[in-house]
Amino acid sequence: MTVTLFGACCALLMAFAALASFHDVPNAVAVPVRTRAVTARIGVSLSALFNVLGLLLSMITLPLVGDRWLQIPHSQVGLGILAATLLTVIAWEAITWWWGMPSSATHALVGGLLGALWAASAVDLTEDMSLAWTMLGVVWLPLLLGPVLAFGIGWLAVVPLVRIFRYASPQTVNRRARYALTLALSCLSLAHGLFFGHRLLVVVAMMFLGAGIGFDAGTLWLLCIPLAACLVLGTLGGGWRIGYTLGSRMVKVDPFRGAIAQITTTLLAFGTGAVTHEPHSASQLAASAMLGAGSNQRFNAVRVLTALRIVGTWLLTIPACAVGAAVFLLALSPLL
């Protein structure tokens, strides 16, 4: 049974990597494409390239900033928990894509692990619920503060920059903003590949530990090849349903405010991941920064109903994935 669960986890992890990249690429690409900084084809190609570079960089930086808050029991039960979690996250990513709503793969992963751990303890498969409380304690603060901080910085940054460029022609401002958007697209994709790569590699490590299989750095480097392929395939898909929500349905921004939002997202993504090591959500940061920058305009550019639906999706992610993973784990429990 251990071998079967290990193989299932491998397949689910590849699907998760592809679908999460497909789901998250609009965070970097939607605004540059919407403001005509790049074409859709160039945008997703750049994003795919820098996602892979970020994944390779994550191999080097993992020992320094590895996500040690992602933990499961090192046993067959742990593999069952991981399989239930990955299946739930894949389902949630597909559902939110169909809705056209951005959501956090990281928070979906944590929610799934919380629910699966609770279900495992409920049927006496494990007694260690401290892992679940540790994850919950680490997640709730960035979940609440990250979007607020991104919105505030995006809104406030518009004021001094408008004064700085008040004598420049609109054509000059827009041209420079599009250059900045292209650069921010690349940097944000690099950040996604780097920190999402950490998540993927930690899940790989949990799989090997749960199966009792030894592994080393060479094994992880080898596994980077199929993971990179999944990232590329997912990114090239584009996720345009969510891109339309971010770029048109939620708020309409000009290239200038779009560049402010993207730079804010990039700086917060790198700062949160590299400095505080917190489980941030690039989706939440990107949407909040766009709302903040887009709100600071003379005309009403924000569609409040769409913004509220996005926030509702964020709040629903952890509990929905916890319930889904618990159901899957309970269904799987007789085999464990």
2 residue type, one letter = T
Q: Residues 178-211: pLDDT tens digits?
A: 999 999 999 999 999 988 888 898 889 888 888 8
| 80 φ/ψ sector (left φ>0, alpha ψ -120 to 50, else beta) | alpha
Q: For the chain, what is the radius of gyration of the CA atoms?
A: 20
Residue 129 has a pLDDT of: 65
Residue 264 has a pLDDT of: 93
Burial 30-64 (b: 16+ CB within 10 A, else e): bbbbbbebbeeeebbbbbbbbbbbbbebbbebbee
How much of the chain exceeds pLDDT 70, in percent? 92
What does the domain layout of the chain look like in residue ranges?
A: 2-335
pLDDT of residue 336 exceeding 80 = no
What is the three-class DSSP state of 267?
helix
Q: Residues 102-142: pLDDT tens digits?
A: 888 888 988 898 899 888 888 878 766 666 667 766 777 77
Determine contact, residues 275/135, Cβ cutoff 8 Å. no
> Which pTM was predicted?
0.90
